[in-house]
Amino acid sequence: MSELVFEVVQEADGGYCAECLTENIFTEGDTWEQLRKNVLEAATAFFFDRPRPERIRLHLVRDEILSVA
């Protein structure tokens, strides 16, 4: 596996949640930097006995509602 993709959502409190789309890996962080660190740590732990992916992609999903009235 060359790449893991995480879908990242920013919570109402400003923190971030990340869920891997292909493996059972989930983590969170209060800041973007903390999230990046936690994603690397979670992926390393998940693949402790197998070859790790070459890279990890963080895909930030933003949901915005616009009023048209």
Q: How far apart are CA 25 and CA 56, in angstroms?
A: 12
Assessment of whether the complete model's pTM goes beyond 0.75: yes
Record the tokens describing residue 56, joined without a space. Answer: 């990890």
Question: pLDDT by residue (tens digit) across 1-16?
Answer: 699 999 999 998 889 9
Question: pLDDT by residue (tens digit) across 16-60?
Answer: 999 999 999 999 999 999 999 999 999 999 999 999 999 999 999
Please tell me the predicted confidence (pLDDT) of residue 37: 98
Q: Residue ranges per domain, the chain?
A: 3-61
Instruction: Let me know how long the chain is.
Output: 69
